[in-house]
Structure formats: C-alpha cells, structure tokens
Amino acid sequence: MAAFLSMASPAYAKDYTLDYGVETSTDGDVGSTSCPYGVCRVGIKKLNITLIIFRYRDDPRHARVEIEGKPGCCFFELGAQSQRIVLDDNPPPSLRFFTGAAARGLLLFQNEPAGILDLRFHLD
C-alpha cells in the first residue's frame, strides 16, 4: 500500500499539461510534459535549450516564458529576457526568439532570429 501511495503522489503534484514545439533554422523538436503550477522547467536536449514557464493559480489567464541556452541565447522581441503571454487564446501566439544581447537601460540591440516557440496549455 505504501508503495502505491508513493507512486501516486508525483502524479497528484502535476497540475497541467504543456505541449511545446520549437523550431530553429537547423532543427526542431516537439513534446509534451506535465507541469506543476509555479515554475516548470522543460529541458530540450536536442536543441540544447531549457524552457522555463511561470504559471500561478492566482493569475490563471497569464504565463511568463523564458528560454535558457548557450551564451547569447535566448531573447524575445526587443531583447527581453522573458515574454508574458495571455492564455485566453489557447494556443497563445507563436513566440519568436533571438540570439544576441539583452536590452540594457535604453539600449536595444539588433538580435538575430533563432527560432519560434509554440505552446499549448491543458488543464488537468
């Protein structure tokens, strides 16, 4: 009985399912994972990046997305390190991400396109 309960508890902690698709100029990957509310980290080894999704129960209509990768990657429009998305439209719009440099103060850099990220959220 104790073994059954210990196996069941990880499934209980998973609050929503995330489907993702990432396309870069050289490769792409798709997948699905269960995520807890709060911070969800999804490692995509094939592309050497990590998706970080911030989603909280007290703000169910929004999520914040970050992508970590090799140095110089990954930024969103205008060199932003994270992108806030509205989940009223599911799936949210595709997010373009870039390599280059983060925005600093009033300085904006012309970053190179690195890829496109698509997300779909499913409540359990």
List beta partners, residue 51.
42, 67
Checking if the pLDDT of 92 tops 90, the result is no
Integer Cα distance of 29 and 12 in angstroms: 27
Query: What would the pLDDT profile of 56-76 be if each residue is shown by its tens digit?
Result: 989 989 999 999 998 888 999
8-59 pLDDT, tens digit each: 434 445 589 999 999 998 899 999 999 999 999 999 999 999 999 999 989 9
Q: Quick one: tokens of 63?
A: 């999520």
Structure tokens at 97: 């991400």
Rounded to 5°, angle at Cα 68 from 113 and 27: 50
Confidence of residue 124 (pLDDT cuts 50, 70, 90): low
pTM as predicted: 0.80
CA–CA separation, 114 and 95 (whole Å): 11
Burial (CB count <10 Å: 0-12, 13-18, 19+), residue 65: buried
CA-nearest of 55, 104, 60 to 81 is 104
Question: Confidence class of residue 6 from pLDDT cuts 50, 70 and 90?
Answer: very low
Question: For residue 94, is pLDDT > 80?
Answer: yes
Place 106 in a pLDDT band, splitting at 50, 70 and 90: confident
Residues 68, 100: Cα–Cα separation, whole Å: 13
